[in-house]
Amino acid sequence: MPGHDIHVVPAGDRWAVEAEGGLGRETFDTQDEAIAAGTCRAKEKQVELFIHGQDGQIRARNTFGHDPRDIKG
């Protein structure tokens, strides 16, 4: 079973870390706290982390564990 990617999304005046498929949601006071928690969770599950801005659009993404070896950077 493939892992479910992790999203950091706005949640009212807070920020949430959510797994795709509705498999868990945790809220934080700041986006930085949510990004740190989301990064840990994505590394553990070796999935992709999507960071959304206040407008809900994806502003950054990071892949943990499945990067092709022939890509620099």
pTM of the model: 0.84
C-alpha to C-alpha distance for 65 and 63, rounded to whole angstroms? 7
Within a domain: 69: no
Within a domain: 23: yes
Q: Which domain holds residue 12?
A: 6-53
**3-state SS of the chain?**
CCCCCEEEEEECCEEEEEECCCCCEEEECCHHHHHHHHHHHHHHHCCEEEEECCCCCEEEEEECCCCCCCCCC
Within a domain: 44: yes
Domain count, the chain: 1
Structure token pair of residue 41: 């969770």
* Tens-place pLDDT, residues 9-51: 999 999 999 998 877 899 999 999 999 999 999 999 999 999 9
